[in-house]
Amino acid sequence: MPYNGILIMAVILFIIGITGVMVRRNIFIMLMSIELILNAANLVFIAFARAFADPAGQVIALLSITLAAAEVGVGLGIFVAIRRTHNTVNVDEINLLKH
């Protein structure tokens, strides 16, 4: 079983996710990139669940999927609210924190 191959693939996915979050200005793409990072993590969990024959890995993967679902739910809620108030989805203009 090519575990370190899978690991490398997970790392690549992770890096793509991070770049996506940092580079793209569209909040949706950022959300999906975060999901990508989560999936990379899941992949590693499952790979090692298989390697050590311990169901724990798969349970955590399962939980993380539910977590991702919750996150998308809230995220999209926020995006809708922002769309209404700021009328934009560009992350650069959403900088209420700036004094």
Looking at residues 32 to 51 of the shown chain, list those that interact with another protein (rule: CB under 8 A): 32-33, 35-36, 39, 42-43, 46-51
Q: C-beta of 35: minimal distance to another protein in Å?
A: 7
Q: C-beta of 38: minimal distance to another protein in Å?
A: 10
Classify the C-alpha dihedral 26-61-71-69 as positive or negative. Answer: positive
Helix or strand holding residue 27 (H, E):
helix 27-52
Would you tell me how many other CB atoms lie within 10 Å of the CB of residue 12?
11
Number of residues interacting with another protein: please give it, by CB under 8 A: 79
Q: C-beta of 65: minimal distance to another protein in Å?
A: 6
Give the whole-angstrom CA distance, residue 2 versus residue 25: 36
Looking at residues 48 to 77 of the shown chain, list those that interact with another protein (rule: CB under 8 A): 48-53, 55-56, 58-63, 65-74, 76-77
Q: Is 85 in the site for another protein (CB under 8 A)?
A: no
22-39 burial by CB neighbour count: b if 16+ within 10 A, else e? eeeeebeebbbbbbbbbb
Q: Is 83 in the site for another protein (CB under 8 A)?
A: yes
